[in-house]
Structure 1
Amino acid sequence: MKTIRADDPQVLAGLSPLNWIKSAGAVHSPVCGASFKIAFLDTKQVILHIDAGSHSYPSPTRFPILAWTVNNGTARTHQIAAGETSITLSESVPNPVIDFHIRGMSPFEDRFHGDVPANAVSLTGFTVDPKCRLTVPSAAPVWLNLGDSILSGDAAAYDSKQGRPPDDQWAASDDARASYGYLLAKHYGFRESRLAFGGYAWSGGGGNNPQAADLIDQITSTTSRLTDGKLAPCPKVVLINLGENGAPKSEHVTAALTRLRERCLPDTRIIVMVPVSGRARSEVTAAVEAYLNTSKDPHAHLIDLGTVRFKTADGQHPTADGHQAIYEAALPSLDKILK
């Protein structure tokens, strides 16, 4: 057997862009939905090595939940435990293609401060057969989702009207790939990257994260998200859905949209969706229209889906069926922009 380090260039090439922190011998992400897709050739066994010893949670049920498929098979899930060091991803499948993502993550821990935030998922490498080599399936252009708990998939694993989960059950309520943001990216042929946090707003929040304009630039308080002043690879589409957690001040919206345009290409589509619940509709609409009138940005757009009926676990957070309903309601508006 041999070990492939997490900072191997082929491993890094397979990571979802913009939401992994890279350090010597490890990669880390505090974002629900962060992913990698790697083909492991000439091996049947793939053991993922993790570092759970450096992370501390108030409850075992707050540890992140991981998910993966092998060669597009049935998704498997695993909740990290304190002190855990390895997880077997594949045992007997030749040349497995592993599609891995963080399925659930509690919104209560600090996701921003320090070199590696307290609730990050830390990967250190893989054990594989001696002749194994890695390849990365050709990557689609990037779609960046920026939002709150609804966009991140909170309660998507719960049933309709089941009720808001207890504080220490939030990781188990998430289903990152049930999110309408992920579904939209996949539908239009993009690879999703994500900045979505429970309790987040234009002005910040959600695990002590900074306002949106600063979060665009910084993956943590000590680590820049930028390469030569730009997001790299640059997203072709940025979808923002914020406002569920409080009506924003116009200056916070304008600062975030201005910063995004500076960090992206001139033809990147920046799409702001009025919060799906309708909360803060007038404030978000006025702020985005003020930016559009001032900037004359031809590739920034405001979408208001009107009244969207969707199933929720608690009156606010969509179930998987609820996310599907939002996804379907958004398609006609996005078709006009993206097709």
Structure 2
Amino acid sequence: MPTFLVSFVLCLLPMLGIAADTKAPNDAGTSSPSTTRMIPANDAKILAGLSPLNWIRTANAVHSPVCGASIRLAFMETKRVVLNLDTARLKYPSPDRFPILAWSVNKGPVQTHQLAAGETSIILSETVANPVIDLFIKGLSPFEDRFNGDVPANAVTLTGFTVDPKCRIVAPPAAPLWLNLGDSILSGDAAVYTANQGRPPDDRWAASDDARASYGYLLAKHYNYRESRLAFGGYAWSGGGGNNPQVADLVDQLTSTTSRLTDGKLQPCPDVILLNLGENGAPKAETVIAALDKLRQRTSADTRIFVMIPVSGKARNEVTAAVNTYLESSKDRQTYLIDLETIKFETADGQHPTAAGHQSIYQAAIPHLDRLLGKASR
């Protein structure tokens, strides 16, 4: 199929509203090599479909320890798409802690599947021609290591896709990038829970998560950006949350052994960065200033950096003072402090917003961001 037709079909399929495959996910088993082919995870088109800055690339796989990390691809000239993965390194004390994946086909209903020990494949689509698949990590346990080693202990590992022999992959066109950086709230932890349901038991955090309920994701989508994310349960300006280091170091390091940078910069360069930290402890001024200095060094002079006060109001004084000190000394005209002040939002446990709570935060933030970004075109 000519390239222009591939692009045309990619744009047309979502507009047609083709129903998604609703077959329950399962292990795909093995297929005859003569009727299928496997496209490895290091294929350039697959890499182009990854959400930037939150996937680790190794010789034979891609890995992410980030709730909300995603991959979007169009699979042309095929109906059947099987995701190949490796769960061998996932060693959790309970099967309930295993990561949960979610995906849609041609913008149809979201399907979910919790990974299991020994699992190697999941059928994503079987009956839809030319499926456009949007897959993301919906839930992750917050307790396991997300930083140390070449591939952290709880990273989701994808090894490729099995498709029909003639299948070709089309990655989405490049779009402006919005990077969310924060803690469990920005991650979407406990967003599946109902109001006052309580704090999830330790083994049930992954099942309580909804990465795309997060107000940060909703804001990026509202302003027509592609979202990427670095948000971890228990994270603070000074670090923590899956053993991740302080923000100034996390900007540079994808893992303890792997740089996140290309030629000293974040590439692609985020157009917008939203930080919301302080819920897990008031920071020292120098920690905030070091983080903002590093973010400015690793991005462009035009990257807009929004520092939001935690929606609970925690650490308001400390974060406000630190940001103001940074602004006075740096003369940075593209970094802004956003304080939503007192807003009401529904929570599961008095701290973590439900999906409805995230909607409230999202709506409260729009007037502030409209003044800085302009109203989103619809």
Instruction: State the TM bucket, normalised to the shorter chain.
Output: over 0.9
User: Quick check: 1:77 aligned with 2:92?
Assistant: no
The residue correspondences of 1:271-310 to structure 2 (distance < 5 A) are 271-310=306-345
Quote the offset at 1:150 in angstroms. 0.3
Shift of 1:305: 0.6
For residues 102-124 of structure 1, the C-alpha deviation after alignment (integer angstroms, 9 at most, x for no partner) is 00001100000000000000000
1:132 is the counterpart of 2:167: yes
Distance 1:77 1:55 in 2: 18
Alignment partner, residue 338 of structure 1: 373
Name the residue aligned to 2:152.
117
Aligned to 1:63: 98
Instruction: Name the residue aligned to 1:4.
Output: 39
User: What residue in structure 2 maps to residue 311 of structure 1?
Assistant: 346
Q: Give the match for residue 130 of structure 2.
A: 95
In the alignment, which residue of structure 2 is the partner of 1:45? 80
Task: Tell me the secondary structure at the aligned position of residue 227 of structure 2.
Answer: strand
- Taking every aligned residue pair, what percent have the same amino acid on both sides? 73
Residues 16-73 of structure 1 deviation map (CA, whole Å, 9 limit, x = unaligned) = 0000000011000000000010000000000000100112111101111000000000
CA distance in 1, matches of 2:291, 2:278: 13
Matching residue's letter, 1:182? Y
CA distance in 2 between counterparts of 1:108 and 1:173 reads 14
d(CA) in 2 for partners of 1:287 and 1:213?
14
Q: How does 1:129-208 map to 2 (within 5 A)?
A: 129-208=164-243
After superposition, what is the alpha-carbon deviation per residue over 1:65-91, rounded to whole angstroms, capped at 9, x for unaligned? 000000000000000001110000001
For residue 137 of structure 1, report the CA deviation from its aligned partner: 1.9
Q: Write the distance in 1 (CA, Å) between the matches of 2:273 and 2:104.
A: 26
What SS does the corresponding residue of 2:251 show, helix, strand or coil? helix
TM-score by length of 1: 1.00
Are positions 1:104 and 2:139 aligned together? Answer: yes
User: 2:278 maps to what in 1?
Assistant: 243
Letter in 2 for 1:172: A
Q: Match of 1:174, as an amino acid? A: D
The number of equivalent residue pairs is: 339
**C-alpha distance in structure 2 between counterparts of 1:93 and 1:222, whole Å:** 41
Deviation at residue 140 of structure 1 after TM alignment: 1.4
5+ residue gaps, structure 2, are: 1-35
2:4 alignment partner in structure 1: none
Q: Is 2:71 the partner of 1:36?
A: yes
2:261 matches 1:261 = no
Q: Relative to total residues, which structure has the larger strand share, 1 or 2? A: 1
CA distance in 2, matches of 1:336, 1:51: 45
Partner of 1:10: helix, strand, or coil? helix
Unaligned runs of at least 5 residues, structure 1: none
Q: Secondary structure at the match of 2:174?
A: coil
CA distance, structure 1, for counterparts of residue 89 and residue 189 of structure 2:
25
Mean CA deviation greater in 133-142 or 31-40? 133-142
Q: Does 1:230 align with 2:230?
A: no
- Please report how far the alpha carbon of residue 139 of structure 1 lies from its aligned counterpart in structure 2 after TM superposition: 2.6
Offset from partner CA, 1:156-210 (integer Å, 9 cap, x none): 1111100000000000011000000000000000000000000000000001110
Residues in 1 aligned to 2:40 and 2:99: alpha-carbon distance in whole angstroms: 22
Larger radius of gyration: 2
Query: Structure 1: which amino acid aligns with 2:234?
Result: G
In 2, the alpha carbon distance for the partners of 1:295 and 1:35 equals: 34
Take 2:254 and 2:273, find their aligned partners in 1: how far apart are those partners? Answer: 16
RMSD over equivalenced CA pairs, Å = 0.5
List, as ranges, runs of 4+ consecutive aligned residues in structure 1 with deviation greater than 2 Å. none
In 1: Cα distance, 2:129 partner to 2:359 partner: 34
1:136 is displaced (CA, Å) by: 1.1
In 2, the alpha carbon distance for the partners of 1:266 and 1:196 equals 24
